[in-house]
Amino acid sequence: MDLNKQYTPRTWPDHPETATMEGKNKFVGFWLLLAAETVTFASLFATYLALKDKGPSGMELSASQLFELPLVFAMTMILLTSSLTSVYAMYHMKNHNFKAMQAWLGITVLLGATFLGLEIYEFNHYVHLGFGYTHSAFSAAFYTLVGTHGAHVLFGLCWFIALMLRNAKRGLNTYNAPKFFLVSLYWHFIDVVWVFIFTVVYLMGVIG
Amino acid sequence: MAHDEQTTERSQTEYEFLRRKRAEEMRGQLTSFAMMIFLTLIAFTAVAADFSPYLIVPIILLLAAVQVVLQLYHFMHLKEKGTGMIAFFMYSGMFVAFITILALVTIVWW
């Protein structure tokens, strides 16, 4: 396989992400990883549900006092939109439009970075209220769950940026198409996890 | 890897057909995005409206499940052909995930 092979929209395969054996293997392997990640997050969700509002007696700052919906709503909308922009990127990837793909990936990265910025702001705010990692079993479970998701967002951003820079001059071919496709799958998975975080942690937290 | 891949030049008709097919797919993706936004709005409004938790919790969990199905089958292309193995991985993962949550939560609550 020539790593710098050039294609035109006319010669570009219909499914470039699985056009090579390497691409096919990556695709299956990556879904195996996502299935394992589902279990990782499940154990963190289970810990959170078990330890929600638990801590030393007379503990202040329970979930219903702490969480505020407007910020979470904004974060949800931003991450959901970034999921759509990466779908747009893959649409242009399949049409072999490299520039448009890079542009949509860039927008995705900006939205993801905004999300991460809001999350850092939120954590910082809680810490100033006295809700640090060691405040209670509840705070430890909360920060571990939401923080692991945040770490995934950060990793995804680095992955996007690395691929965009490394392939900026190479253009799009069947060597790097699977790479772009997988990072967008990863990004959707992050959004899937967030759907459960905003439902189970924030919405069910506000209800009490 | 030693083997070279074959490249074939498409005819103009075939090329235009594929482009049109992808544009249609993209419109479908936009529809599922609109539905995701709508489901999220319902979930947040239901909580802000202050109904009984026994009513809201099952509803928002159901909305989350529907939204995840949309993500998996549309955005992550599970609805396409030849994804049986992948779906098997994912459903196995979800099954273990469900057992994990059930086990930990029941240990603590009972």
- Average pLDDT of span B15-37: 94
Distance from CA of B41 to the nearest CA of A (A): 9
Residue B2 has pLDDT above 50, yes or no: no
Amino acid B22: pLDDT: 94
- Residue for token pair 């392997």: A29
Amino acid A1: pLDDT: 67
Asked if B26 is an interface residue toward chain A (Cβ–Cβ < 8 A), one would say: yes
Residue B56 has pLDDT above 60, yes or no: yes
Amino acid B70: pLDDT: 94
Where would I find the H helices in B5-75?
A: 12-48, 53-70
Beta carbon pairs, A and B, within 8 Å: 141
Q: In whole angstroms, what is the distance from residue A166 CA to residue A180 CA?
A: 11
Amino acid B9: pLDDT: 85
Q: Would the CB atoms of A188 and B104 count as touching at under 8 Å?
A: no
Amino acid B5: pLDDT: 63
Q: In whole angstroms, what is the distance from residue A91 CA to residue B39 CA?
A: 24
Q: Would the CB atoms of B43 and A203 count as touching at under 8 Å?
A: yes
Amino acid A2: pLDDT: 79
Please choose, from the candidates A35, A50, A12, A199, the residue with its C-alpha nearest in 3D space to the C-alpha of residue A137.
Answer: A50
Mutate which: B10, B27, B76, vs A, most A CBs within 10 A: B76
- Angle formed by the axes of helices A21-51 and A177-196, nearest 10°: 20
Which residues of chain A neighbour B22 with C-beta distances below 8 Å?
A: 91, 94-95
Q: Are B62 and B43 in contact (CB under 8 A)?
A: no
DSSP H or E stretch at residue A74:
helix A69-94
- pLDDT tens column, A62-77: 999 999 999 999 999 9
Amino acid B1: pLDDT: 47
Q: In whole angstroms, what is the distance from residue B76 CA to residue B94 CA?
A: 16
Q: Would the CB atoms of B89 and A20 count as touching at under 8 Å?
A: no
- pLDDT tens column, A86-118: 999 999 999 999 999 999 999 999 999 999 999
Half-sphere exposure for B4 (CA within 13 Å, toward CB): 6
ipTM for the complex shown: 0.90
Residue B4 has pLDDT above 70, yes or no: no
| Tokens representing residue B34 in the block | 């609109």
Residue B41 has pLDDT above 50, yes or no: yes
pLDDT below 50 — which residues of chain A?
A: none
Helices and strands, counts by H and E, chain A: 7, 0
Q: What's the alpha-carbon Rg for chain B, to the nearest Å?
A: 21
Amino acid A4: pLDDT: 84
Residue B3 has pLDDT above 60, yes or no: no
- Residue for token pair 């030393």: A56
Please choose, from the candidates A148, A172, A154, the residue with its C-alpha nearest in 3D space to the C-alpha of residue A112.
Answer: A154
Per-chain mean pLDDT for chain B: 90
Residue B110 has pLDDT above 90, yes or no: no
Asked if A194 is an interface residue toward chain B (Cβ–Cβ < 8 A), one would say: no
Q: Would the CB atoms of A192 and B63 count as touching at under 8 Å?
A: no
Single pTM value for the model: 0.94
| Superfamily (CATH) of domain A17-52+64-207 | Cytochrome c oxidase, subunit III, four-helix bundle (1.20.120.80)
| CB interface of B with A, residues 80-99, below 8 Å | 85-86, 89-90, 92-94, 96-98
